[in-house]
Structure 1
Amino acid sequence: MDTVLTNFPLFCLKCKEESLIDAKKFIVKDARR
């Protein structure tokens, strides 16, 4: 998860959960390739 968070410099408490969800979706798309 640390490597994923490093790809998201924009890190705020309000959008923290949304950023994590987007990161997971991105990983899933990247893994399906």
Structure 2
Amino acid sequence: MIIEVQFFIAFVLAFATINLAIKLGKALYD
């Protein structure tokens, strides 16, 4: 159970980081 929670948190953090990087890239190239 704890491992699943850590995996879920890691997945959410990774998704948020990628999403932020994409927004940053669009802002820089606009």
The structure carrying a bigger helix percent of its residues is 2
Matched positions, count: 22
TM (norm. structure 1) is 0.55
Q: List alignment gaps of at least 5 residues for structure 2.
A: 1-7
Greater Rg over alpha carbons, structure? 2
- The higher relative CO (CA closer than 8 Å, separation ≥ 6) is in 1
Q: List alignment gaps of at least 5 residues for structure 1.
A: 1-11
Which aligned segments of 4 or more residues in structure 1 are displaced greater than 6 angstroms?
none
| Pairwise CA RMSD | 1.6
Percent of residue pairs bearing the same amino acid type: 9
TM (norm. structure 2) is 0.60
